[in-house]
Amino acid sequence: MTLPQLYDIYHRHPVVTTDTRHCPEGSLFFALRGDKFDGNAFALDALANGCAYAVVDDAEVAAKDARCLFVDDVLSILQELAAHHRRVLDTPVLQITGTNGKTTTKELVAAVLGEKFKVLYTEGNLNNHIGVPLTLLRLRPEHDFAVIETGANHPGEIAQLSKIVQPNCGLITNVGKA
């Protein structure tokens, strides 16, 4: 499955999930791996629960159902898909980062912009390598602005997230020891 092929499918099924307990009808399930779980093990459940497709990186799982879309790495393709979607829509994006104050600043900026504009912003503090792409994949043509919060728990993470977000403007709240 190539990025252009996946983006075409995403266009037809623009709701993304990583949780089989929340599978809106016709959504795309991304079978992410974690320290204690492998989303590939739940791909068929996601399809049974209403997802139109499951993006997997386990060839054996992909062979079990034609709606399982095989990729080399689910997390990487999720991030690439979000970055591509962000480029296609070209909505002005403000990226907010810093040691502390990110979430409060993001909420305040989104509230002020929201008085006059349709604004997409990071929900809660979903500001990591998974939450940021999921937020960007909620971006729609009707949004006038996006306010994206990015956080880090290791060196280089903000740089990686910035490549996905591709901000027009950045705001650093504070830099210090975490």
Domain(s) of CATH 3.40.1390.10: residues in the chain:
3-72
For CATH 3.40.1190.10, the residue range(s) in the chain are 88-172
Q: What sign does the dihedral 158-73-43-81 (CA atoms) show?
A: positive
For 5-38, the pLDDT digits (tens) are 999 999 999 999 999 999 999 999 999 999 999 9
Residue located via tokens 């990226």: 95
- In CATH terms, the fold of domain 88-172 is UDP-N-acetylmuramoyl-L-alanine:D-glutamate ligase (3.40.1190)
State the burial class of residue 81 (Cβ atoms within 10 Å of its Cβ: 0-12, 13-18, 19+): buried
Give this prediction's pTM: 0.94
Q: Does residue 91 contact residue 137 with C-beta atoms inside 8 Å?
A: no
Residues 130-154: tens digit of each pLDDT: 999 999 999 999 999 999 999 998 9
Please tell me the CATH superfamily of domain 3-72, with its number: MurE/MurF, N-terminal domain (3.40.1390.10)
Query: Contact, 109 vs 94, CB < 8 A?
Result: yes
| Residue 124 reports pLDDT greater than 90 | no
What is the enclosing helix (H) or strand (E) of 7? helix 3-12
Q: How many whole angstroms separate alpha carbon 28 and alpha carbon 68? A: 10
